[in-house]
Amino acid sequence: MEIDGRTKICGLIGNPVEHTLSPMIHNTLAQRLGHNMRYVPLLVERDRLKEAVAGAFALNLLGLNVTVPYKSEVIANLREIDELAQNIGAVNTLVRTTDGYKGYNTDMEGLYRAMTSEGIRIGGEQIILLGAGGAARAVAYLCAVKGADKVYMLNRTWDKVQAVAAEVNRAIGRDVVMPMLLKEYSQIPAGKYLAIQGTSVGLAPHVEDVVIAEEAFYKKIHTGFDLIYSPWETKFMKMTKAHGGRAYNGLKMLLYQGIIAYELWNNVTVSEADAQMVYEKLKAHFTLAD
């Protein structure tokens, strides 16, 4: 598809952005759906975020994705923010309005769509959540909103996990998130759980790292979902499978958060057939890399 005077531009702002797969998602969709749009990664230095957002609007960019380290910091530069993003405290998608950008968080709805596509439910479920950082905080909020019965939130430090659990419980209006230290996992009631790995532990090149190494922990898991997608199969996933559980990586979360952003920018609905086509292309990228 040719670039001309009517081509709409979207992009990703963050630091770093060199290894992003988002252009593959958006440019494939644009070509597939016949939209005159191009998506590019845009490196923004730490002290230039305000200028970058204003410059993007001045240059008539249709929309932006936002990645680390700017998902919270960017909020101060927006004209408006969606309620979900406000409650999560993080924005990953900017949508152009008449006088500025409106911020959304498509990460969590992307995670929900990814889990749903694999037959994983959250409503009424007992969940173990590893971590209490920005990603885990958002996951805890999602689980609470979608009707999880209990979320046992495990973290290395007590002050952090206690604060995050209290914040989410207060926002939801019920005590659904239970803060615990990692070493206290044995105190979780007997049973089988959905476990979500919400930390950066296990990212390449540290592929043999895992938040909890004890075999007994993995006997509690019926399904494990790791937000990481590189490596393709993390140590957390391998240990979950070794003890009879199902395990999934975060690639479909990446896919669906991108699809939701694309839908917001272009006011369209992407079909599951088109979503699956893009997913297969993303999977092939990892197969070729291996």
* Residue ranges of domains in the chain: 8-105+252-289, 109-249
The catalytic residue among 50, 71, 150, 220 is: 71
Choose among 85, 80, 82: nearest CA to 97.
80
Question: How confident is the model at residue 205, as a pLDDT?
Answer: 87
Q: Give 70-125 as a DSSP string.
A: -TTGGGGG-SEE-HHHHHHT---EEEE-SSSEEEE--HHHHHHHHHHHTT---TT-
CATH architecture of 8-105+252-289: 3-Layer(aba) Sandwich (3.40)
pLDDT tens, position by position, for the chain (290 residues)? 689 999 999 999 999 999 999 999 999 999 999 999 999 999 999 999 999 999 999 999 999 999 999 999 999 999 999 999 999 999 999 999 999 999 999 999 999 999 999 999 999 999 999 999 989 999 999 999 999 999 999 999 999 999 999 999 999 999 999 999 999 999 999 999 999 999 999 998 899 999 999 999 999 999 999 999 989 999 999 999 999 999 999 999 999 999 999 999 999 999 999 999 999 999 998 765 55
Backbone angles phi, psi at 41, to 5 degrees: -80, 140
Common-topology check for domains 8-105+252-289 and 109-249: yes
pTM of the model: 0.94
Question: How confident is the model at residue 288, as a pLDDT?
Answer: 59
Q: Clarify whether 150 is annotated catalytic.
A: no
Question: How confident is the model at residue 289, as a pLDDT?
Answer: 53
| Contact status, residue 75 vs residue 222, Cβ threshold 8 Å | no
Please tell me whether residue 154 adopts helix, strand or coil conformation.
strand
CA 215 to chain centre: 27
Question: How confident is the model at residue 247, as a pLDDT?
Answer: 98
Question: How confident is the model at residue 204, as a pLDDT?
Answer: 83
Question: How confident is the model at residue 287, as a pLDDT?
Answer: 63
Cα(196)–Cα(135) distance, integer angstroms: 11
Domain at 109-249: CATH code = 3.40.50.720
